[in-house]
Amino acid sequence: MAAINLNINGKKQVLDIDPKTPVLWVLRDHLNLVGTKFGCGVAQCGACTIHVNGNAVRSCILPVSQIENKEVITIEGLSEDGDHPVQKAWLEHDVAQCGYCQTGQIMTAAALLKSNPSPSDEDIENTMNGNICRCATYLRIKAAIKTAANS
């Protein structure tokens, strides 16, 4: 066990925890931030995507010790009231079917637009390729990212 300094969604706190615990389970089990989803546990599906210092990262294999004093944003902290341009575009395109993977998709998309405000189709396809949507809402995801890019 170790005391880890966390900065999640702007909130600073110290958590006494096994430093090897993946951030995903710190969020879900210890901090009640369940918008970040468990899909595969091996960084293959993207459902657990969060932002660490602005970069999209898979939280399921990231030990909590690695985020000490780093700025972490989860879906709950992406915007005040779901009004991030990517979230708004997701609603406009009514992207979701089951909805389970969508928070991970949104976090990946938001990081993409931050580093590349007007991505090409190829940029979108390459970046979003790490996020599986079993319902296969891929075309709406792509369309929503374009809408968000233009807003």
Binding site for other proteins (CB under 8 A): 18, 21-22, 25, 28-30, 32-42, 44-45, 47, 74-76, 79, 81-82, 87, 90-91, 94-103, 106, 124-126, 128-142
Residue with smaller CB distance to other proteins, 70 or 88: 88
- Least Å distance between CB 126 and other proteins? 7
Q: At closest approach, how far in Å is the CB of 106 from other proteins?
A: 6
User: Residue 98's closest CA among 135, 47, 136, 142?
Assistant: 135
Please state the closest distance from residue 118 (CB atom) to other proteins, in A. 18
DSSP string spanning 21-41? Answer: SBHHHIIIIIS--TTSPPS-S
Please tell me the number of Cα atoms within 13 Å of 73 on its side-chain side.
Answer: 17
